[in-house]
Structure 1
Amino acid sequence: MSETQINAGPVGQITSLVGWAVGLFDRIPSFVFELAMRVSIAMVFWTSARTKVEGFLTLKPSTFFLFEYEYALPLIPHNIAAYMATYAEHFFPILIVLGFATRFGAAALLAMTLVIQIFVYPGAWSLHLLWASILIYLMARGAGVVSIDHLIKQKLS
């Protein structure tokens, strides 16, 4: 079978389709993916934070119960851990979505993810690995061009 016959058959059609798809994805600007990562990981933590409060930032009694009996973190008293985690889950996602101090915010949420993985839900490693992957990318590469960090970097250059 000649190369012309292969290219004209099903293999050639699949190869052309794959080439077309790769070309399409290559044209998507990286900031689209960076922004999607920032928003998606921020929503994970923000949504969790909102389940722990009433109104603006008043912790629910159930939040203290969870930190005392279900999460039971070592070294940190449950009431202090409840406040720290809840406020962190509100603050750092805002930084990440804005792209302001993104690496710092991502590092803080990665630390929180590691605490959750090691001390609270060790069986949920596949979910935590996904979170960690996004956070490590943001720590390594930053927020990208659609961010306050990028504007600051341009002003300082």
Structure 2
Amino acid sequence: MNARILPLWARTTGLLEGLAPLVLLLFRLFVAIAFWRAGVVKIDDPTGTHYLFSEEYQVPLLSASAAAFLGTWIELIVPWFLALGLGTRLMAAFLFVYNIIAVISYPALWPKGFWHGLIGSDFADHKAWGLMLLALVAWGAGRWSLDALLGRVFKPRVATDA
């Protein structure tokens, strides 16, 4: 019995590991599109954006104008790096923290209380994005990325003794 199961298990897990580049690409694209769309909404309606940052969001340490400006441009620029897989771990870590600040700064996301939101269904999108970003921090962009391409192009050459 074990003689048949173990090789089958090894082949199956080997095939599933081949999905990693696709999964990491989909994580990058899904999160990048979500953040980029939020940036487009902000830049399309500067008055509404200023209102949100003045009245709804409670961003610590920044004025409403500075937070609106930074939030808009972060959401318009950083997702491109993430989607292309360029500086992925750094960009994913940055957006991970940005996502946490967004959740904390917008109490409307957690109507039943912040702690309920962590385990309940409140701000489910932000939790999914956070987990995908954390996976990208841990595993990088994968083979289908500019990070991987640049790593192959600029791979350090090992000196050999003659």
Instruction: Please tell me the TM-score bracket, short chain as reference.
Output: 0.7 to 0.9
Report the counterpart of residue 40 of structure 2 in structure 1. Answer: 50
Which structure has more RCO (C-alpha within 8 Å, separation ≥ 6)?
A: 2
Answering whether residue 26 of structure 2 is matched by residue 36 of structure 1, we say yes
The aligned amino acid for 1:142 is G
After superposition, what is the alpha-carbon deviation per residue over 1:38-63, rounded to whole angstroms, capped at 9, x for unaligned? 10011110111110113xxxx61111
Unaligned runs of 5+ in 1: 1-18
Structure 2 length-normalised TM: 0.74
Report the counterpart of residue 134 of structure 2 in structure 1. Answer: 136
Q: Secondary structure at the match of 2:103?
A: helix
Report the counterpart of residue 11 of structure 1 in structure 2. Answer: none
The alpha-carbon deviation at position 72 of structure 1 amounts to 2.6
The alpha-carbon deviation at position 126 of structure 1 amounts to 2.9
The aligned amino acid for 2:132 is I
The alpha-carbon deviation at position 142 of structure 1 amounts to 0.6
The alpha-carbon deviation at position 119 of structure 1 amounts to 2.2
Distance (whole Å) between structure 1 residues aligned to residue 99 and residue 47 of structure 2: 23
Distance (whole Å) between structure 2 residues aligned to residue 43 and residue 60 of structure 1: 20
Answering whether residue 100 of structure 2 is matched by residue 102 of structure 1, we say no
The aligned amino acid for 1:50 is V
Distance (whole Å) between structure 2 residues aligned to residue 107 and residue 26 of structure 1: 26
The aligned amino acid for 1:47 is R
Comparing 77-86 and 116-125, the one that deviates more: 116-125
1:1-157 to 2 correspondences below 5 Å: 26=16, 29-54=19-44, 60-120=46-106, 121-122=109-110, 123=117, 124-154=122-152, 155-157=154-156
Unaligned runs of 5+ in 2: 1-8, 111-116, 157-162
The alpha-carbon deviation at position 27 of structure 1 amounts to 7.5
Distance (whole Å) between structure 2 residues aligned to residue 119 and residue 144 of structure 1: 32
RMSD: 2.2
After superposition, what is the alpha-carbon deviation per residue over 1:23-46, rounded to whole angstroms, capped at 9, x for unaligned? 8x7275321111111100111101
The aligned amino acid for 2:25 is L
